Amino acid sequence: MKTSTLAVLGWLRDRADDISSAFTLGWSHTALWLKAAAVIGGLATAALLLGWAGGLGLQAAHALPWPTQKVADPTGLLATVDQPVRDYLNTHTAQLPVTATTAYALWQAIGVLALVLGFFRSSGGRILWLLWGAFTVAAVFTATPAPGREVAAAIAALGWAGLSLLALRGISLSPTALIHVHVPAPQAPPAPQIHATIHVPHQAPAPPALKPFDPQQPPSLN
């Protein structure tokens, strides 16, 4: 029993050291179990927040009336785009659980949200803005009567393009100029040359060998 208690206390001490190291050494040196717990907790929190925001959005959409607010439109340009979108949603949501009112409010909310996010250079917001604009132009083209279909779609596309100046600000379609500068590699230093010189010591000549005395020869030869 005492051994198991010590083992549990040691395990808890190691986990506490992992948590302490995460605060001092940073994310890259955090223990794997802490990273997994942080990721799972973050995903769960994000899912709860998205569900909560989605519920509020649906409640707000159901609370909105079907007609748009009365906005001064002396030119009729807004009605040229807005009315076909409402007719398109009214026609294509008849067999769906979602009502035309909710779909129309969602279309408005997504357009405003994508415009704001795109203005603040959000990549996801800009993708959403492109999809929203493509749907709007297609809905206007489909729901407008045949005689004015092309003109209504062109007006919707021009309005979308004008608002895209805000949603897609900072994006440049011109190719980026690439200047290639060739920097030659530094030349390697010459290889060291080693000259070996062998000095042989000079040997003195050997003394002449002395021959034994021969009494038969003259003294100059002995």
Domain ranges of the chain: 65-169
Please write the tens of the pLDDT for every residue from 157-210: 999 999 999 888 887 666 655 565 666 766 767 777 776 677 666 666 666 666
Please write the tens of the pLDDT for every residue from 66-118: 454 455 667 788 889 999 999 999 999 988 888 888 888 889 888 888 999 98
Contact 107, 85 (CB under 8 A): yes
- Nearest Cα neighbor of 114 from 124, 101, 103 is 124
In sequence order, which ranges of 64-191 are alpha helices (DSSP H)?
77-92, 100-119, 123-143, 149-167
Structure tokens at 150: 């092309």
Contact 128, 117 (CB under 8 A): yes
Contact 167, 114 (CB under 8 A): yes
Which residues neighbour 187 within 8 Å (Cβ) at sequence distance 6 or greater?
none
Contact 101, 123 (CB under 8 A): no
pTM for this structure? 0.51
Which residues neighbour 77 within 8 Å (Cβ) at sequence distance 6 or greater?
155, 159
Burial class (CB in 10 A: 0-12, 13-18, 19+), 141: middle
Q: How many secondary structure helices (H) and strands (E) does the chain include?
A: 6, 0
Asked whether the predicted pLDDT for residue 129 surpasses 90, the reply is yes
Asked whether the predicted pLDDT for residue 53 surpasses 70, the reply is no
Structure tokens at 63: 């609370």
Residue 79: what pLDDT? 87
Asked whether the predicted pLDDT for residue 31 surpasses 90, the reply is no
Contact 101, 66 (CB under 8 A): yes
Tell me how many degrees the CA angle 193-196-201 measures, rounded to the nearest 5.
160
